[in-house]
Structure 1
Amino acid sequence: MKEDPAAPTPVILGIDDLRPLPRATRIARTSGEGIQLLQEHRDSFIDELWLDHDLGGDDSIMPVVTLMEEAAFNGRPFQIGTIFVHSANPIGAETVVRSLTRWNYQVRRAIA
């Protein structure tokens, strides 16, 4: 079976300070870069979004989560197929899952 050359490439975004995330089409390494990356894709569909909780030093994914929560609160959530939360910090990962699930984002815990 041949692949359809006209089929769009899936948009897979990752926000992680260390992991290579080989399936990702773009990766942000800080929460600030992650916010910018999401804003660049504001009006398009994101097939997958991979989130790590701890982003090095005092940085975490929580500013990105807040942006996504505010978008949903304002009636304009980001269009994302599935959000995968991967983190060595189980409490932080669970916080992200609960926060985004509350706003009807499709969220799953994953191993990256």
Structure 2
Amino acid sequence: MTAPLILGIDDLRPLPHCTHVARTSQDGLRLLQEHRDTHITELWLDHDLGGADTILPVLTLLEQAAFEGEPFAIGTIFVHSANPTGADTVLRALHRWNYRARRATA
């Protein structure tokens, strides 16, 4: 049995339960691409990633993959942002593309 793969994209939180953590959207894109053909047990997303950086480039990648008929294989996506409007935007987009996503506290 394979160990769970738990990815996190957050600029500040330690996320000790995650097996890999990216601190910027660009690092998050690389992290997801590295695991493109692997089942991701959980993906933890923060909306605001410091300065002008947000999770939106990562969200675009997930949406594009689903649009092309090849969504990422992710068990559950947890959105744990302190920005309620940003979190709602992320959740709406993920649900639109049939990703299993919910709001959580990190």
* TM-score over 0.5 (shorter chain): yes
How many percent identity over aligned positions? 70
* Equivalent pairs, count: 106
Q: 1:16 aligns to what?
A: 10
* Runs of 4 or more above 6 Å deviation: none
Q: 2:80 aligns to what?
A: 86
Q: Does 1:106 align with 2:96?
A: no
Query: How far off is 1:32 after superposition?
Result: 0.1
Q: State how far apart, in whole Å, the 2-side matches of 1:33 and 1:70 are.
A: 18
**TM-score, length of structure 2 as denominator length:** 0.99
Amino acid paired to 1:43: D
Q: State how far apart, in whole Å, the 2-side matches of 1:8 and 1:41 are.
A: 14
Question: What do residues 48-103 of structure 1 show as CA deviations (whole Å, max 9, x unaligned)?
Answer: 00000000000000000000000000000000000000011000000000001100
Alignment of 1:58-69 (within 5 A): 58-69=52-63
Alignment of 1:18-37 (within 5 A): 18-37=12-31
**TM-score, length of structure 1 as denominator length:** 0.94
* Structure with the greater alpha carbon radius of gyration: 1
Q: State how far apart, in whole Å, the 1-side matches of 2:94 and 2:74 are.
A: 11
Q: CA RMSD in A?
A: 0.4
